[in-house]
Amino acid sequence: MKLTSLRLVLVALLVIVAISFLGGTAMWRVLGFGDDLSIDGRAETVREAPVQLGNGWSAYGGDEGGNRYSAAAQIDRDNIDDLETAWIHQTGAFDGREAARHRASFQTTPILVHDALILCTQFNEVIALDPGTGERKWEYDPQVPIDGRPGNEFTCRGVAHFAPPEPTDGACQARVFVGTVEAELIAVDSETGVPCREFGDAGRVQIEPSLALRWPGEFQITSAPVVFEDVVITGTSISDNLRTDAPLGTVHAFDAVTGAPLWKYNPIPWNADGDTRVGHANVWSTMSVDSERGLVFLPTSTASPDYFGGERPGNNENANSVVALNARTGEVVWAYQIVHHDVWDYDLPAQPGLYQIWHDGAARDVVVQVTKMGLIFVLDRDTGEPVIPVEERPVPQDGVDGELLSPTQPFPVRPEAVVPDRLDPGKAFGVTLWDKMACGSKLRQLRQDGLYTPPTVDGTLAYPFTGGGANWGSAAFDPSRNLLVINMNNVAQSVHLHPNTEAREATEIDHDAEFAPMEGAPYAMSRKPIFSPLGLPCSAPPWGVIAGVDVARGEIVWRRPFGTTKDLAPGGLALNLGMPSFGGPAVTGGGLIFIGASMDDYLRALDVETGKELWKGRLPAGGQATPMTYVWNGKQYVVIAAGGHGKSGTRIGDHVVAFALPD
């Protein structure tokens, strides 16, 4: 989703500034700022955080359950003003790859393994750094080609670590797994970076080697694999909306030592009659593991194509679902569907959070799933049944000819959606009357019946847009306060279906243009954010928010605009309008939230109790990644990848930045 149009024009910003000084609150409301999303509350401590969460960062999500929480408390609310840059490491990822610079996003979150900080670059290089100095210890480069066009950019969000319980002699006693843009799973020695020769073919396993692709990169791995005992499990990322006979969204499990295949799970078994072949429902985001229960939790995506489901009748069970599998066998233990028969690209983008909430004096293990729609589902870890009740509510009908919509969709009774799903044309945003009227006119031309309004030929409002609500950055959880911390986007999008007689050939698909042929379906699709003539979103600010949600009570405790115009506006004008964000938060025992993500180049520290900003540190490039924290030799560090996000138009780089308190 291209957001580079958010590079605000000078005249618009000058008008905004003039109005802010001269017009007062009443004028802001006239211009569309009337719907204030802010909630000012304070999260309460309910218990001590569980000891087992520790102060390291052993997996992409902090721990195997994705808590993104560290007990480290050396940096706290009293000394946060003293935080300073400790070291900066440049990976050199673009050396010899400048041609791919703006097709890449540095989204990695490092993990701490023994005496090394290990991460992957945009081009699937694996690098180990000294945790205290940032100096390079070793690197491995799989030499992925850059002449392809990956459907989801060149990116690698993280790696996974495996250490056998009973070490043997030789290399690769412990190993690091990484997936690639070529859909290979690679194992390297965690001490040296040398490929583990006994794993697959000299350290590599090709996912679906016989798959016929339209181009290199149609089928790739973007998120970190997960490990259960001696089983390594990976999903895949597949280009959306190209064709109905798209690759299947199969999840693969391999022996972590030999690379031998162990099991496969296809989320869409309802195509097994052989008369129709429906693809996708893949797991492109991050999975979670509960080692005690022996379960792996999958956030599945939409069946192909995303915007027309007439060829795939029914609810498409286990697509758009949280699916709990036996991690040893791949058998389904339970599944809970979040969206029935999805035709909105509302796949599950975030890691299922395996949290322990404290309610009525007792602990309860839950799975929390945040969504693109701004809704939050809280499920029982053992059964998948909702802990906070969910209602099946009627949703808009009358889709295009041949569509078979679900009459209802699941809605949690609480909390309310973190971002709105309706946009009154009369309250369209604009910094001038002309701008506002133009936005109102655009919105009136679109069908808008609330969440789950079906795509149409004449045009439909998609709000929130397909970038969320929530996205791959996922959420963080403070177990001492039952507090889920999540950043979400608040941008509108128009979606049009085009009869296939008007569609371009599939070979002309351009992901940046947001046109897709949906070959094999009776319609093609186009979509784009809804902007004013001055290049600003037609939805009123904030265009990005961050919220703290008590998941035991199902209540939004606080919610605030998140991100400024600092690195988008001419002259560096930093208006606190709230900006779209990609990347997620991390929470610490020091009562702090650390988050980059927004379209200005900062790492921020917020008060976990209130969400108020306490500190921000300047980054050399966009921080569209999730930070992590750890304690090394008695000192706490906070680390973030600062390399920008190609589709968002933020500053591109190859930096890994660590912050710490001065000695």
196-229 burial by CB neighbour count: b if 16+ within 10 A, else e?
beebbeebbbebeeeeebbebbbbbbbbbbbbbe
Fill in the amino acid letter for 471.
N
Q: What is the pLDDT of residue 35?
A: 62
Q: Are 514 and 2 a contacting pair, CB within 8 Å?
A: yes
Please give the C-alpha separations between residue 495 and each of 12, 219, 307, 463, 641, in angstroms, as whole numbers: 26, 25, 9, 10, 33
Following DSSP, what letter does each residue of 300-331 receive, concatenated?
--PBSSTT--TTS-S--TTTTEEEEEETTT--
**Looking at the predicted structure, is the pLDDT value of residue 644 above 50?**
yes
Sign of CA dihedral 545, 57, 72, 66: positive
Q: Give CA separation, 607 vs 76, 305, 529, in Å.
A: 9, 42, 32
| CA distance readout (Å), 278 to 92, 271, 301, 344, 568 | 41, 6, 13, 17, 41
Q: What is the pLDDT of residues 109-154, one digit of tens each?
A: 999 999 999 999 999 999 999 999 999 999 999 999 988 777 778 9
What token pair was written down for 456?
A: 């149409």
Closest by CA position to 516, among listed 306, 222, 283:
306
- Checking if the pLDDT of 509 tops 80, the result is no
Q: Dihedral sign for Cα 432, 436, 437, 442, please.
A: positive
11 against 533, higher pLDDT: 533
Which pLDDT score is estimated for 235?
A: 97
Instruction: Identify the pLDDT of residue 436.
Output: 92
How would you write 564-603 as a 3-class SS string?
Answer: CCCCCCHHHCCCCCCCCECCCEEEECCCEEEECCECCCEE
Taking Cα atoms as reference points, which of 151, 107, 155, 105 lies closest to residue 511? 151
- What is the identity of the amino acid at 298? L
Cα dist. 47→64, 365, 437, 480, 591 in Å? 22, 15, 52, 5, 14
> Is 345 labeled as catalytic in the residue annotation?
yes
- How high is the mean pLDDT of the chain? 90
Contact (CB, 8 A) for 63 and 351: no
Q: How far apart are CA 50 and CA 480, in angstroms?
A: 8
- Which one of 345, 435, 550, 654 is the catalytic residue? 345
Q: Per residue in 522-567, pLDDT tens?
A: 999 999 999 888 888 999 999 999 999 999 999 999 999 999 988 8
| Exposure class string for 168-183: b at 16+ Cβ within 10 A, else e | eeeebeebbbbbbbbb
pTM summary value: 0.94
- pLDDT tens profile 160-198: 999 987 766 678 989 999 999 999 999 999 999 999 999
**Cβ density class 527-555: b for 16+ within 10 Å, e for less:** bbbbbbebebbbbbbbbbbbbbbbbbebe
**Rounded to the nearest 5°, which phi and psi values hold at 373?**
-80, -5
On whether the CB atoms of residues 159 and 60 are closer than 8 A, the answer is: yes
Query: Mean pLDDT across the stretch 90-104?
Result: 94
Where residue 23 falls among pLDDT bands split at 50, 70, 90?
very low
pLDDT at 485: 98
| One-letter amino acid for residue 651 of the chain | R
* pLDDT reading at 14 higher than 50: no
Instruction: Dump pLDDT digits (tens) for 396-430.
Output: 999 999 999 999 999 999 999 999 999 999 999 98
User: What is residue 218's predicted lDDT score, i.e. its pLDDT?
Assistant: 83
Instruction: Say what percent of the chain tops pLDDT 90.
Output: 75
pLDDT at residue number 213? 77
Ramachandran angles phi, psi of 443, nearest 5°: -70, -35
Enumerate domains of the chain plus CATH numbers: 4-660 (2.140.10.10)
CA 24/CA 26 separation, integer angstroms: 6
Residue 8 has pLDDT above 80, yes or no: no
Sign of the alpha-carbon torsion through 248, 149, 197, 191: negative
Mean pLDDT of 38-63: 90
Question: Is-contact 179 185, C-beta < 8 A?
Answer: yes
At 432-474, the pLDDT tens digits run: 888 899 999 999 999 999 999 999 999 999 999 999 999 999 9
Q: What is the pLDDT of residue 611?
A: 98
DSSP states of 326-382 as a string? ETTT--EEEEEESSSS--S-----SPPEEEEEEETTEEEEEEEEE-TTS-EEEEETT
Q: How many angstroms separate the CA atoms of 157 and 180, rounded?
A: 11
Better-predicted residue by pLDDT, 35 or 265: 265
Q: 519 vs 308, which has greater pLDDT?
A: 308
Confidence of residue 572 (pLDDT cuts 50, 70, 90): confident
More confident residue, 1 or 258: 258
- CB count within 10 Å of CB 383 equals 12
Cα torsion 439, 441, 442, 446: sign:
positive
